[in-house]
Structure 1
Amino acid sequence: MEPIIREAKPEDKPFIEEIARLTWGGEDYLARVFDSWVEDGNFYVLEFDRRIIGTAKLTFLPSKVGWMEGLRVHPNYRGRGFGRLLHNFIVDMGRKLAEEGRIDALEFATYFLNRESIAMAKKDGFKVLIRFLSLAAKVKDFEPVEPEPAELTMEDLTLGIIPLGWKFVHRSEEALEWLRRKAEVYEISGFKFLVEKGRATFTPLSFGLGCIRAMLPAMAWVAKERDEVFELMLPASMMEVLPGIKRLGLGLWDETDEPNVLVFRKGLRAIQG
């Protein structure tokens, strides 16, 4: 039987839940976003042996970016070229969307140890656009303090590329409106931070050890109803003060001397007619 790539359907959910349970030690978010991704569209599954063995998603982001995410292959079927098949499918879709003028580039983010995806992307002409640092903390290590809801302004967006969870948007008015729809914004002691609705990955909008220290109890307050562990996404420049960050109660999933989140980009405008 030849593998088939098709749009995901609601009845595929049990298969996706199984893949999620077997990915990242059961911490994969795929099952949690399944319903919203099916509704959003451009969410695909790979069917083989009468079962769903892989997934891939393309999401439209501001600045005419096609965001690649959710590429998964069931552990029992890895190493057989199915990941490359899904990757190629999304890249080919990106080219068609570029020809239609709907996107200008494909982008995605990945963990620094995801060597297979990194090698595959580089072979296809993707370049590292920017690097970030992801650190984790446990809610129980902080005395949670309730922050105030806040409004997001362009002046708050001091980075050229702003993380929200594991998506990254280019600073623009369009991105500001997108963040206002997708993020919760809080403020404590004059410092603002973002978090994706319903999730526990935070983006501080002020940097420096003092700022992070002030925000951590408030982040713990937001995260305590969502997860036992929360995550911060920081610019790569914060690697310079990593020892101080660790003393605040934050840690790396895997020890490294380099930023552990890579954002890749492949420009597509050159292929437009």
Structure 2
Amino acid sequence: MEPFIREARPEDKPFIEEIARLTWGGEDYLAKVFDDWVKDGNFYVLELDGRVIGTAKLTLLPNRVGWLEGLRVHPDYRGRGFGRLLHSFMLELGERLAEEGKIEALEFSTYFLNRESIAMAKKDGFSILAKFYVLGAKAEDFDQEEPTPSELTYEDLTLGIIPLGWKFLHRSEETLEWLRKRAEVYEIDGFKFIVPRGGTTFTPLSTGLACIRTMLPAMAYVAKERGEWFDIMLPGGMNPVLLGLMGLGLKLWDETEEPNVLVFRMPLTTLRG
């Protein structure tokens, strides 16, 4: 039987849970977001012989961006072209949405060691839009201090590209409203940081070394009830203070001095020639 791609359904969840267990050492978030993604739409699965063996999602973001995420293939079926099949399908979906006037570009983020996805993206016409560092820390390694819940203002969005978890948004009033609905905002000693609701990947809205030092106990406080580890997403321009950041107790996921998170973009006019 030939594989085919269809919209995800609630009854697909056991298959998605299995893929998540076998991805990133069982740390994959896919099972956690499954229900929300099914409701949101533009969530697809690849089915073969009655079994879901792959997934892909397109999320509509502010500034007419179609955000690609959740591209997965079950380990037993990798190396057989199924990832390319899903990727090509999502490009075609992006083109249709562009023709409907809903989006103007496709974007996605990936880890710098995900060489297969990076090569595939560059071949299809994606280029690097921005680079970030993701650094990890253990909540119990810090003295914890409770922050104050806060409100997000446009002046807080000091970066041109604002991370929320592993999504990256363009600075705009539309993005501000989007973040207000989906991010938790905290403040300590005048410094603010954001985190996805219920998440543990933090974005400091002030990125100086001293600012991050001040915020770390508050991030650890928020993270301690959500898991053992938490992450911080920082702009690639933080390279000069990388050693200082690690001196604060932050750890790079892999040994590298280069930014380890890449954000790609492709204007959809590229797809239409």
TM-score range for the pair, normalised by the shorter chain length: over 0.9
Question: After superposition, where does 1:47-58 map in structure 2 within 5 Å?
Answer: 47-58=47-58
- Per-residue deviation, residues 114-142 of structure 1 (Å, max 9, x unmatched): 00000000000000000000000001101
| Contact map agreement 1:101 1:272 (CA 8 A) in 2 | no
The structure 1 segments of at least 4 consecutive aligned residues displaced by more than 4 Å after TM superposition are: 270-273
| Contact map agreement 2:125 2:270 (CA 8 A) in 1 | no
Residue matched to 1:175: 175
Residue matched to 1:257: 257
- Per-residue deviation, residues 128-166 of structure 1 (Å, max 9, x unmatched): 000000000001101211100111111100100100000
Following TM superposition, by how much is the alpha carbon of 1:268 offset from its aligned partner in structure 2, in angstroms? 1.1
Counterpart-to-counterpart distance in 2, 1:228 and 1:109: 24
Percent of aligned pairs sharing the same letter: 74
Residue matched to 1:43: 43
- 1:109 and 2:72 aligned: no
Query: SS where residue 181 of structure 1 aligns?
Result: helix
Return 5+ residue gaps in structure 1 as ranges. Answer: none
Residue matched to 1:146: 146
* RMSD, matched Cα: 1.1
Following TM superposition, by how much is the alpha carbon of 1:269 offset from its aligned partner in structure 2, in angstroms? 3.7
Residue matched to 2:11: 11
Residue matched to 2:230: 230
Following TM superposition, by how much is the alpha carbon of 1:99 offset from its aligned partner in structure 2, in angstroms? 1.1
Counterpart-to-counterpart distance in 1, 2:43 and 2:122: 23
User: So what's the TM-score if we normalise by structure 2?
Assistant: 0.98
| Compared CA separation, residues 72 and 270, structure 1 to 2 (3 A) | closer
| Contact map agreement 1:67 1:106 (CA 8 A) in 2 | yes
| Contact map agreement 1:98 1:271 (CA 8 A) in 2 | no
Return 5+ residue gaps in structure 2 as ranges. Answer: none
| Compared CA separation, residues 33 and 199, structure 1 to 2 (3 A) | same
Once the two structures are overlaid, the 10-residue window that deviates more, 263-272 or 50-59, is 263-272
| Compared CA separation, residues 243 and 270, structure 1 to 2 (3 A) | closer
